[in-house]
Structure 1
Amino acid sequence: MNDSLGARGNPAALAALQSRAYRDMSPWSARDFADLLDHPTALLTAQPHAFCLGRIIVDEAEILALATDPAHQRQGLASGILLSFLQAAAGRGAVTVFLEVAATNVAALAFYRKHGFDQSGLRKGYYPQPDGSRTDALLMSRALTQGHGPNS
């Protein structure tokens, strides 16, 4: 973990990193991050230049945001931070993890598939686009148990 993101998170640093990483979507504000981090269900794994933020509710983990600074992409940071998140989620009792990703985000879809996520649902027209159109969200999930552990 680095000083700017830290174990508890620095909302302004998280918002700034997400703003650099999320080129096609509106990033969250520092207040959005602060509100989520204040909730007892929040789970943040962070290291220099990358973070994964989600929540654990009962036995399910949800990834809300995963970001790597563009200047540090393609170095394995996202994989490392995702695996840290999966391990921490399993340690807090989660047996499955899910997320949503824009159907047009080819790189993210390939990344999550590489890490054992499969499409489990579809939200038609979920993400608004700058031109007024809407993009579908794919729901993806994977087990954290039964041979699909966080190190798989």
Structure 2
Amino acid sequence: MRLRDASSADAPALAAIHAQCFSMEVWDAAAIAALLATPGTFVLLDEDAGGFIMVRAAGGESEVLTLGVKPAARRRGIAKALVLSASERAVEAGAAVLFLEVNAANNAAIALYKGLGFGEVGRRKDYYLAPHGMREDALVLRASIPLMRV
């Protein structure tokens, strides 16, 4: 695994990864570049596997804006490594907690996050667009950081 900071020059590659990871509400390169330009936002990119995490840190808190690993590289611990590394970076930026939203139907992601010490603190009804025009809830999860590497 080779993690590095991504920049706006990486936006097209990040958008391509995002498109492979999410079937609905895919972020294009312009949206990713705009988010990268906001204060406190950083992206860690795994150049080997094609995965990345985008986080924004401000006011002592941080939030995972998106996390994606190409389907062919999943179930190898890449997402876990990205979350752990991002939590350390968020601490360096002054954050003490990390929030994220996850689709309530995404059992694999929920298991990952709960295994890292995240707990449910809320639910956003009909937050995600789902196939066939349906909507799905998001769970709001929170963890104190840095996360423990075990």
TM-score by length of 2: 0.89
8 A Cα contact 2:51 2:68, kept in partner? yes
Q: For residue 40 of structure 1, report the CA deviation from its aligned partner.
A: 1.8
Partner of residue 125, structure 2: 124
8 A Cα contact 2:116 2:148, kept in partner? no
CA RMSD after TM alignment: 1.6
Q: Which runs of 5+ in 1 are unaligned?
A: none
Runs of 4+ in 1 over 3 A off after TM superposition: none
Q: For residue 11 of structure 1, report the CA deviation from its aligned partner.
A: 0.5
Instruction: Tell me, in whole angstroms, the C-alpha distance in 2 between the residues paired with 1:114 and 1:81.
Output: 14
1:50-107 Cα offsets, whole Å, 9 max, x none, are 1110101110000010111111111111111111100000111100000111111111
Partner of residue 22, structure 2: 22
Instruction: Tell me, in whole angstroms, the C-alpha distance in 1 between the residues paired with 2:114 and 2:142.
Output: 10
Match of 2:72, SS state, is helix
Partner of residue 104, structure 1: 105
8 A Cα contact 1:90 1:150, kept in partner? no
Partner of residue 40, structure 2: 41
8 A Cα contact 1:119 1:140, kept in partner? yes
Partner of residue 151, structure 1: 148
TM-score by length of 1: 0.88
Q: For residue 6 of structure 1, report the CA deviation from its aligned partner.
A: 4.8
Partner of residue 12, structure 2: 12
Partner of residue 71, structure 2: 70
8 A Cα contact 1:6 1:47, kept in partner? no
What amino acid maps onto 1:28 in structure 2?
W
Q: For residue 132 of structure 1, report the CA deviation from its aligned partner.
A: 2.1
- Calculate percent identity across the aligned residue pairs: 35
